[in-house]
Structure 1
Amino acid sequence: MDVATLLATVPAPAQVTAADVRAETDPASVLVVLDDDPTGTQSVAGLPVLTRWEPADLDWALGTGAAAVYVLTNTRSLDPGTAAARNRDVAAAALAAAARAGKRVTFVSRSDSTLRGHFPLETDVLTEAIAEHGRPAPALTLLVPAFPDAGRITVRGVHYWVVDGEATPVGETPFAQDATFGFRSSDLRDWVAEKTGGIVPAADVAALTVDVIRTGPDAVADFLRALGEGTLVTVDAVDESDMRVVALALHRLEREGVQALLRVGPPYVRAHIGQDIAAPVTKDRIDFANDRGGLVVVGSHVPLTTAQLAGLREARPGTATVELDVHRLIDDRRDAHLEARAAQVAQALETGTVIVHTTRELVTGRDGDESLAIARQVSSGVVDLVARVLDLAPPRFVIAKGGITSSDTASEALRIRRATVVGPMLPGIVSLWQPEDGPARGIPYIVFAGNVGSTDSLAQVVGVLAD
């Protein structure tokens, strides 16, 4: 459907600024964002991000005074049992750290804007964990997957992917065919029913539509206040102001003692804390540790990533390219293959930027669990390669393309525990981290989701860093 037609009957947005939201935030409250892969930071700037959640790490993050703290859980790459345990561990650690810091926590379960991830498992586990630690269970759970910067909007309960002015219901896109987290429904109420196996029927899901949101925060607060305890609410958003209106309503309800649990796409955190949309990071704001070439690591297999890889090669035809054979990464040839490829990459970095990518063939298993296990094996192979290269020839910068790839590269290959999100490399998307510890300190790290941007976006980011 043409997006102009879709939005023809939508009311004009309410005029709410980031400053309006900041004026109503409670300085004693902090968002703890459990990010199921590191791409959730692409819409924010100047916030701490952790890949570990030991007391000292959380104390450091909360001690920065930031309104939100990201904790990288990487649960989208994990089986359900392990994902549940990790959510419980992070929740317990965050509540303890908040108590030490005199802060009140609102938990955010950050997930994919195209609806892939462990839902309802993660929100259920967080709700249970909050209650287990003596805190009141959240009165409401809000589902806000919209990511307007990347063309994902929700209109009257239906989630769309917008490309070149055409809005496609997300259930009809390639993302819905995900081997592990696939789905059929585009209406978020039906999607909840589908993902809960009918335990939560669509009729029991409240839809906070753009028609209410654009009436203003008072109308939103009234709508939410009238809902029963434990209601799951799907939230429309077409632009930033819609999310800011919802944020204002939630801040007002919080002062009344009504606490919400949030399951969101990347930009909602920015709206909730009243952060202005950051301008893209320019080269003069980036510190580089050395003059070698940069390392571009591509693991994602979504069609957009493959097109961006082709666009990078076309824009920079002289760039060295090293391919990792997926089949060799999952059999007994693995170690020899990685040793040879690491030496090849290290040598090429001495003269310029290097692209490393897995073969574009997507290898899947017999079911979702086996496909996820293969994806983990491949991702660990990429991690092993980057770790070897870091020892042999630390690169000027590292770009990791894809959610699981970027998570594992950060926490395992570069051994980052703590970092600061500098800001986006492209408007609203693609996050630049400054590692604060470990062997990658001084090496800018760029987290690039698999499913965002245009075909030339990867080439644009490399151009900023390499030229």
Structure 2
Amino acid sequence: MANVELDQLLAAYPPVDKAAVEARWKEVQPSFTHKIIVLDDDPTGVQTVHDVSVYTDWTEETIEKGFLEEGQIFFILTNSRAFTRKETEAEHRAIAERVERISQKYKRPYMIISRGDSTLRGHYPLETEVMRATIEEHSNTKVDGEILLPFFKEGGRLTVENIHYVQDGNVLIPAGETEFAKDRTFGYRASDLAEWIEEKTSGAFTAKEVTSISLEQLRALEIEAITEKLMEVSDYGKVVVNALEEDDVRVFSIALMNALNKGKRFLFRTAATFTKVIGNISSRPLLEREELIDPASTNGGLIIVGSHVQKTTDQLEALKELTMLHFIEFDCHLVRDKTAFSAEVERVKQEAEAQVTDGKTTVIYTKRERLDLGKGMEEEELKLSVQISDAVTSIVAGFAVRPAYLIAKGGITSSDVGTKGLRVKKAVVAGQVAPGIPVWKTGAESTFPFIPYVIFPGNVGNVTTLKEVVSLLEGI
């Protein structure tokens, strides 16, 4: 499948009629009152929103708190991309059962969004399939279908004619031909989302059965026709949504709200843009240093780099150009030697504490080569990666000095640092410090209350973005 020039693709479609979209949105959105629960398989799903709650557990009490919030949308950080299949299945069964029970208690309809990686990695179709079965078991309704919408412009993820692309400069690369498709745990071949569904479901849903919402329909504002398409979906049929701009997602969402208000029921596997649009969350300017850093702090910041995708490694190399920072390589390959690994963790922690206390921002990064145990050992590798992540988060949890700020690079890394290192139970998303890079303000219960915690996805930004974010926070 060939690469595509972004400029040529954008020129191939008529522009969005923004005024008409806004008018239709104002007609429909006030009638849409479903509670929106976003299950985030790592913390990067809040990369488009602000002033929303993120909970880090899914007890019945926590889910009920989310339902009772004034806001329409709340997030639950599941971190399921770091889980085994068995753990993921148990987690999503419990969540779906509790959500359905609380919905019935308060007689409020809801929608569950499984927010997954915009480069198509994660436990799909397992998570949504488990929830579908659980919801149908505990309610008197059937789930009519599943919506797939991985568009995320800030990260350069665009879907055109069902082909999902990853942007690199002005070039769009079919997702199945990127490094993300070669993921050892969640790899795939197809770039056409209909074919990807067939691949991932092992043929249970074929490509020709998938309903497609085209850019032509969206740009022509064929809202009634799209609504009718959704009304015809049944038997948990799959729907792929194409999008080049956020307004394409808004047009689709208008039709979707119409269908939901008429009683249709869907599950969703989407990237971050859909959560912002359906939650009716406004855009806001990027966060400034003055909004994040306490001027009274004399300590350095702390940066944890765990992701092993090539983009992260390139960004780390660019970050090393900031010579005022202190860098520590954590030899995570020692994980198979318990004594040596424990000593390595303690060495890294003590060195980092000394540097941060001295006012020097410190970067702890895991050894860049992946731990490769060989073919067929993916589950064992995942378990070792969890042990490595636990070690990194133990450094944060036991850190003897409060950093001026904290950055975690990588989805699983940032989840574990937030939940196990910072011990966050509930955070508020302050906004984004760069496109697609969210900031939490931690709760009073956390290891470092109200610290700015920057969640930096492994697959977002260009080669200099990490360096630019750190430069902003350092005031240079």
Query: By how many angstroms is 1:157 displaced?
Result: 0.5
Deviation string 1:229-264 (CA, Å, 9 cap, x unpaired) is: 421011101110000011111111111111221110
Query: By how many angstroms is 1:64 displaced?
Result: 2.9
Match of 1:339 in 2: 346
Alpha-carbon distance in structure 2 between the residues aligned to 1:291 and 1:92: 48
Match of 2:315 in 1: 308
Query: By how many angstroms is 1:23 displaced?
Result: 5.3
From 382, 393, 396, the equivalent of 1:372 is 382
Match of 1:383 in 2: 393
| Change in 2 beyond 3 A, CA 1:285/1:298 | same
1:2 maps onto 2:5 in alignment: yes
Alpha-carbon distance in structure 2 between the residues aligned to 1:253 and 1:407: 34
Alpha-carbon distance in structure 1 between the residues aligned to 2:259 and 2:273: 21
Tell which deviates more after alignment, 435-444 or 67-76: 435-444
Unaligned runs of 5+ in 1: none
Query: By how many angstroms is 1:463 displaced?
Result: 2.2
1:79 maps onto 2:84 in alignment: yes
Letter in 2 for 1:408: D
* Preserved CA contact (<8 Å) 2:28 2:254: no
1:435 maps onto 2:445 in alignment: no
Tell which deviates more after alignment, 257-266 or 57-66: 57-66
From 271, 275, 293, the equivalent of 1:269 is 275
| Change in 2 beyond 3 A, CA 1:135/1:398 | farther
Letter in 1 for 2:68: G
From 157, 160, 166, the equivalent of 2:162 is 157
Alpha-carbon distance in structure 2 between the residues aligned to 1:166 and 1:322: 35
Letter in 1 for 2:9: L
1:59 maps onto 2:64 in alignment: yes
Match of 2:201 in 1: 196
Count of residue correspondences: 463
Letter in 2 for 1:53: W
1:60-209 equivalence runs, <5 A? 60-209=65-214
Q: Tell me, what secondary structure is at the counterpart of 2:320? A: helix
With the length of structure 1 as denominator, give the TM-score of the two structures. 0.95
Q: Tell me, what secondary structure is at the counterpart of 1:83? A: helix
Tell which deviates more after alignment, 105-114 or 322-331: 322-331
Letter in 1 for 2:5: D
1:412-427 equivalence runs, <5 A? 412-427=420-435
1:224 maps onto 2:230 in alignment: yes
Query: By how many angstroms is 1:285 displaced?
Result: 2.3
With the length of structure 2 as denominator, give the TM-score of the two structures. 0.93
* Preserved CA contact (<8 Å) 2:293 2:473: no
Alpha-carbon distance in structure 1 between the residues aligned to 2:139 and 2:105: 16
Alpha-carbon distance in structure 2 between the residues aligned to 1:237 and 1:83: 29
Deviation string 1:150-191 (CA, Å, 9 cap, x unpaired) is: 111000100001111111101011110001000110000110
Alpha-carbon distance in structure 2 between the residues aligned to 1:348 and 1:160: 42
Alpha-carbon distance in structure 1 between the residues aligned to 2:214 and 2:360: 50
From 199, 207, 216, the equivalent of 1:211 is 216
1:445 maps onto 2:453 in alignment: yes
Alpha-carbon distance in structure 1 between the residues aligned to 2:192 and 2:431: 32
Q: Tell me, what secondary structure is at the counterpart of 1:185? A: coil
* Preserved CA contact (<8 Å) 1:127 1:138: yes
Alpha-carbon distance in structure 1 between the residues aligned to 2:220 and 2:141: 30
* Preserved CA contact (<8 Å) 2:28 2:257: no
* Preserved CA contact (<8 Å) 1:250 1:260: no
The two structures, once aligned, show a CA RMSD in angstroms of 1.9
* Preserved CA contact (<8 Å) 1:18 1:274: no
Q: Tell me, what secondary structure is at the counterpart of 1:24? A: helix
1:363 maps onto 2:368 in alignment: no
Match of 1:295 in 2: 302
Match of 2:330 in 1: 324
Alpha-carbon distance in structure 2 between the residues aligned to 1:277 and 1:148: 14
Query: By how many angstroms is 1:419 displaced?
Result: 0.6
* Preserved CA contact (<8 Å) 2:421 2:447: no
Deviation string 1:77-111 (CA, Å, 9 cap, x unpaired) is: 11111101111112223334444555321000010
Unaligned runs of 5+ in 2: none
Q: Tell me, what secondary structure is at the counterpart of 1:31? A: strand
Alpha-carbon distance in structure 2 between the residues aligned to 1:193 and 1:48: 35
Q: Tell me, what secondary structure is at the counterpart of 1:339? A: helix
Q: Tell me, what secondary structure is at the counterpart of 1:43? A: coil
| Change in 2 beyond 3 A, CA 1:21/1:345 | farther
| Change in 2 beyond 3 A, CA 1:93/1:292 | farther
Letter in 1 for 2:81: R
Alpha-carbon distance in structure 2 between the residues aligned to 1:135 and 1:426: 44
Query: By how many angstroms is 1:363 displaced?
Result: 1.1
Alpha-carbon distance in structure 2 between the residues aligned to 1:344 and 1:17: 54
Tell which deviates more after alignment, 369-378 or 396-405: 369-378
* Preserved CA contact (<8 Å) 1:323 1:359: yes
Deviation string 1:286-321 (CA, Å, 9 cap, x unpaired) is: 26484311111000011111111111111x212011
Tell which deviates more after alignment, 86-95 or 191-200: 86-95
| Change in 2 beyond 3 A, CA 1:135/1:36 | farther
Alpha-carbon distance in structure 1 between the residues aligned to 2:379 and 2:279: 36
| Change in 2 beyond 3 A, CA 1:291/1:22 | farther
Alpha-carbon distance in structure 2 between the residues aligned to 1:49 and 1:22: 29
Tell which deviates more after alignment, 74-83 or 380-389: 380-389
Q: Tell me, what secondary structure is at the counterpart of 2:239? A: strand
